[in-house]
Amino acid sequence: MTRAKAESAGGEQTSLIGKDKAFAVLCEESLGSAEPLSLEEQFIEAVLKWLRSWFDDKESAELRTMAPCVFVFAGDEEPVKVLPDLKSAPSFKSSTDASLSGHVHVSALQMRKVVRKKVGFSDVSEAVSWMHDNGLQTYTCIAVSLKAREALILRQGVDPDDCSKVAFAEKNSSVFDFSQVPALLDDFHNRHTKTHLGHCRIWAKASERVLKQLPEQQIQGSLLSFFEFTVRPHVMVDEEIATYKGRCDVRLARWKRLTDDPDTGVFEVCYLELKVLYPKKSAIWNQEWALSGIQQLLDYREAKPAPGPSYLCCYDGRLADADIPAVEKRAKEVGVFSKRFFLQTPKCKGVS
């Protein structure tokens, strides 16, 4: 036996990697999340990614007759031991023609070692009850309505009423770019903030148009989750990136490979600053508040220069649904996109 030393041990400056392959990996895997993901979040990410490609392969007509299905993360247990009568489903992950209808699937991380059995559920609510009856509330589970293209994420130990919901859009073959952000913001508003019945609960008393404390934080949390599920893995989503000019609410960073030079890429960054306009504050106060958001965006751009758009997102809790001309004018002058989303409280008097 001989003892050998690394040839390049002294060559600290020498590149060890093939940049082309490394960029290809970065392109495929993106930058990941800013913080390490828990095992449960890794499981959720893998299942949602797999489901996206599964849905992409299916026509809506095929889905209409399918019953809901369930995915369960076995954690550190052997998947086969989680429920009785589970049968191995070899190569499940690599197939897109797998029959999901009515099945309960239990697996390890990355959807490895899938075992399953057919139960048959009439709707998602029945699937959630079944999971509860079978002691699965101590596991992280995903209940999927194939018909509605929706998944309910039930994290271990979290009340089912507080579960997150993910919708799978119809197949979109285009690669994500920041031009899709306005439509995503509209979609988020429609689902989460448009009415007091949306997923994002920001009203303390909607009938009197009283907002909860720190509504921006509520919206920021929901918006980050929304982007996590809609733009990842193509885009890195993070929050409140501190620069010496302050903190930004949402940042989307995307690596774009240059077609004419595959060894080189450019990072684009989209900043979003969220401002809630308050019903009980004066018109001048709300105007200055929104204008301060534009200045913050300019400051981030100055502190961390990168190509990409900046969005001021005003969630409008005022009584009247009307643009603020000074804000629109300033945004236009400095190249910031201004979006205003009126928060509706239909039964509230005095709202126009």
Widest pairwise Cα distance in the chain: 88
Residue 244 or 349: which CB sits closer to other proteins? 244
Residue 273 or 316: which CB sits closer to other proteins? 273
Figure out which of the listed residues 40, 42, 160, 163 binds other proteins, where binding follows CB under 8 A.
42
When asked if residue 176 is in the footprint of other proteins (CB under 8 A), the reply is no
Figure out which of the listed residues 66, 163, 291, 306 binds other proteins, where binding follows CB under 8 A.
306
Total residues in contact with other proteins, by rule CB under 8 A: 57
Residue 90 or 135: which CB sits closer to other proteins? 90
Place of tokens 């990996």: 25
Return the structure tokens found at 143.
């209940």
When asked if residue 197 is in the footprint of other proteins (CB under 8 A), the reply is no
In whole angstroms, what is the distance from residue 104 CA to residue 68 CA? 9
CB of 299 to other proteins, least distance (A): 15
Figure out which of the listed residues 13, 61, 65, 94 binds other proteins, where binding follows CB under 8 A.
94
When asked if residue 1 is in the footprint of other proteins (CB under 8 A), the reply is yes
For residues 62 to 91, the per-residue mask of contacts with other proteins, x marking binding by CB under 8 A and - elsewhere, is -------------xxxxx-----------x
| Burial category of 239 from C-beta neighbours within 10 Å (exposed 0-12, middle 13-18, buried 19 and up) | middle
C-alpha distances (whole Å) from 310 to each of 254, 301, 329 are 14, 9, 15
When asked if residue 95 is in the footprint of other proteins (CB under 8 A), the reply is no
Q: Map residue 46 onto helix, strand or coil.
A: helix
For residues 218 to 237, the per-residue mask of contacts with other proteins, x marking binding by CB under 8 A and - elsewhere, is ------------------x-
Return the structure tokens found at 136.
């699965």
CB-side neighbour CA atoms (13 Å) of 223: 28
When asked if residue 240 is in the footprint of other proteins (CB under 8 A), the reply is no
Residues 266-295 that bind other proteins (CB under 8 A): 267
Residue 114 or 312: which CB sits closer to other proteins? 114
Figure out which of the listed residues 63, 80, 217, 255 binds other proteins, where binding follows CB under 8 A.
255
When asked if residue 35 is in the footprint of other proteins (CB under 8 A), the reply is yes
When asked if residue 110 is in the footprint of other proteins (CB under 8 A), the reply is yes
In whole angstroms, what is the distance from residue 348 CA to residue 319 CA? 9
Return all residues near 348 (Cβ < 8 A) that are at least 6 apart: 206, 207, 208, 209
Figure out which of the listed residues 13, 28, 172, 325 binds other proteins, where binding follows CB under 8 A.
28
Sign of the four-CA dihedral 253, 51, 189, 216: negative
In whole angstroms, what is the distance from residue 327 CA to residue 323 CA? 8
In whole angstroms, what is the distance from residue 192 CA to residue 57 CA? 28
- Cβ–Cβ < 8 Å for 313, 288: no
When asked if residue 8 is in the footprint of other proteins (CB under 8 A), the reply is yes
When asked if residue 31 is in the footprint of other proteins (CB under 8 A), the reply is yes
- Cβ–Cβ < 8 Å for 237, 250: yes
Query: Near other proteins by CB under 8 A, which window of 52-60, 110-118, 314-322, 330-338?
Result: 110-118
Figure out which of the listed residues 86, 250, 253, 270 binds other proteins, where binding follows CB under 8 A.
253
CB of 2 to other proteins, least distance (A): 5
Concatenated DSSP letters of 189-238: IIIIISBTTSSS--EEEGGGTEEPSSHHHHHHHHHHHHHHHHHTTTSEEE
Residues in touch with other proteins (CB under 8 A): 1-12, 15-19, 21-26, 28-29, 31-37, 39, 42, 75-79, 91, 93-94, 107-113, 236, 241, 253, 255, 265, 267, 304, 306
